[in-house]
Structure 1
Amino acid sequence: MATLPEEIMFIWCRPKATSAVLFLVNRYLAVLGNIVALISNFLPVSPKVCSKYLLVVDVLRFLQQIFICLTLSLRTYALYGRSRRLLIWMGIIALVLIAGGLAGTFGDDSDAGVDAGDCHEIYTTATTVRHGMAWMAMFIYELLIFVLTVFRAWKTRGLRSSLISRRDILDVIFQDGVMYFVGMTLVNLPNILTYFCGPEIIRGSLGTFTTCMSVTLISRLMLNLHGCVDTGIFSTSAETSPDVLSTRVDVEFSVSSDHW
């Protein structure tokens, strides 16, 4: 609700670019996932129905992480001048990590239980490791995107200049990318530690919060980007200076700084 005015201004009232579509899918898939999670937590259900609810929640959360990775990849692809080589390598790494995440999230040894009407997942030792590795896969990909973003900013202009200014899209992507990675690190690392180091009662207890934070941060990140350029990350403008990003990105801000 806090960012709804910006969403209407920058997303709904403009032509739907690829990044805008990803924003909408990511934002409202999260709403659907949270509704299903609330239903499973508070409605009295049988163990059989509970397992189905948990499966739907896991699928929706997994899809949310996929769309977040797509959004981060799209930004990085734009930063590197739509480099096909980089896109192929990111795709290969993403597929490997997705395979690991699938094995972790939907392993055969996960179980569900019902306690006093509360539908929740029971983590055995094997299940705990699987789910922890799934979150590790997401963290590794976010770290890769962060390193690529920092390297591009340093190579193009220098980190100091990108940190203290917001002159163009590069500065916006770099600063927002740094804040996203720092925020997710502070949230995701404790979440991962609950799987590997925490007692049984807190295993996976931060999973929902971590998912909500990742969706919230990536949504804020994309709104900032659309506040700078109408078409999102990509622009068909042929007048973009190659000295800025060496890619077809509109570097002119379309709104004044008071929107920040």
Structure 2
Amino acid sequence: MAYLLISCHFQISCSKYVSTRQLFIFFQQFIVCVILIIRTYALYNRSKRLIIWLTIVLVVLAAGASAGSFGQYARNITSSPGFGCFETYTAKASDRLGLAWLAILAFELLIFVLTVYRTCKSRGLPRLRQVTKRNILDVMFHDGAMYFAAMTVCNIPNITMYYSGSGVVRGSLGLATFTSCMSVTLISRLMLNLHKSLDSGIFSVPVQEHDYRLAVLTTRINL
């Protein structure tokens, strides 16, 4: 009897864990896509038309991804006290989850194409060389290319597992968590590198002692 109670409690905990895990992955990817939109918006000189269209695309893809991730589909959660939770999906459910990751990959491809188009239109195709600190277009192009290449390498095996893997591989042993963590890590690196290329570092102010015409904010207190 005690074993059944423990097993039931563990089953409920596993179900909550799986739902929370999927929710975190969804919000992680949504935030990453928002940051990509902001970068592209800045690259296109704050084009309102562009940000409206990208926002519409993001909302549509997010709605489809949420339906595939949180909709009513067949999945089995096997819990083994002392060993962990094992999640498996049916072929239909796995196809819907794979479609959500395909939507993310398509959105990243769209951002990459827009970045390449803007860079080529402004400066021509940048050479594969070390970028200078003041060349923001080269920095954004090279960082964007590296991000898209790395995420494509991570996403293709992840999507392939959803469509051709076995039940356990499609569920608990899939690459969704790894792919999501890589996406967050790389987008953070992109933003830090952009800040470093334009300034001396985080929370720093460029100092130019030879230029006395710079405006300086000071505070004076009269007692």
SS at match of 1:221: helix
Residue ranges of structure 2 left out of the alignment (5+ in a row)? 1-7, 202-223
Write out per-residue CA displacement over residues 35-54 of structure 1, whole angstroms, 9 at most, x where no aligned residue: xxxxxxxxx95222211111
2:27 maps to which of 63, 67, 92: 63
Q: Confirm or deny: 8 A CA contact 2:86 2:168 kept in the other structure.
A: no
Report the aligned-residue RMSD.
1.9
Residue ranges of structure 1 left out of the alignment (5+ in a row)? 1-43, 233-260
Q: Which amino acid aligns with 2:40?
A: T
Deviation of 1:228 (Å): 2.3
Residue of structure 1 in register with 2:170 after alignment? 203
SS at match of 1:155: helix
Q: Which amino acid aligns with 2:153?
A: L
Write out per-residue CA displacement over residues 149-174 of structure 1, whole angstroms, 9 at most, x where no aligned residue: 0001110101134x435231111110
Deviation of 1:216 (Å): 1.2
SS at match of 1:179: helix
Q: Does 1:122 align with 2:88?
A: yes
1:138 maps to which of 104, 115, 139: 104
Write out per-residue CA displacement over residues 60-94 of structure 1, whole angstroms, 9 at most, x where no aligned residue: 11000011001111000000000000001101111
CA distance in 1, matches of 2:112, 2:73: 33
1:1-260 correspondence runs (5 A):
46-117=10-81, 118-161=84-127, 163-167=128-132, 168-204=135-171, 205-229=174-198
Q: Confirm or deny: 8 A CA contact 1:150 1:174 kept in the other structure.
A: yes
Deviation of 1:212 (Å): 1.2
CA distance in 1, matches of 2:24, 2:167: 24
Q: Confirm or deny: 8 A CA contact 2:40 2:114 kept in the other structure.
A: yes
SS at match of 1:164: coil
Q: Which amino acid aligns with 2:112?
A: F
Which structure is larger by alpha-carbon Rg, 1 or 2?
Answer: 2
Deviation of 1:203 (Å): 1.2
Q: Confirm or deny: 8 A CA contact 2:14 2:79 kept in the other structure.
A: no
CA distance in 2, matches of 1:184, 1:174: 15
CA distance in 2, matches of 1:112, 1:219: 34
Q: Which amino acid aligns with 2:75?
A: D
TM-score with structure 2 length normalisation? 0.79
Deviation of 1:58 (Å): 0.9
Q: Which amino acid aligns with 2:34?
A: L
CA distance in 2, matches of 1:223, 1:107: 36
More relative contact order in 1 or in 2 (CA 8 Å, sep 6+)?
Answer: 1
Q: Confirm or deny: 8 A CA contact 1:107 1:127 kept in the other structure.
A: no
Q: Confirm or deny: 8 A CA contact 1:107 1:130 kept in the other structure.
A: no
Q: Which amino acid aligns with 2:149?
A: V
Deviation of 1:198 (Å): 2.0
TM-score with structure 1 length normalisation? 0.68
Q: Confirm or deny: 8 A CA contact 2:126 2:138 kept in the other structure.
A: no
Deviation of 1:144 (Å): 0.4
Displacement over 4 Å in runs of 4+: none
Deviation of 1:209 (Å): 1.0
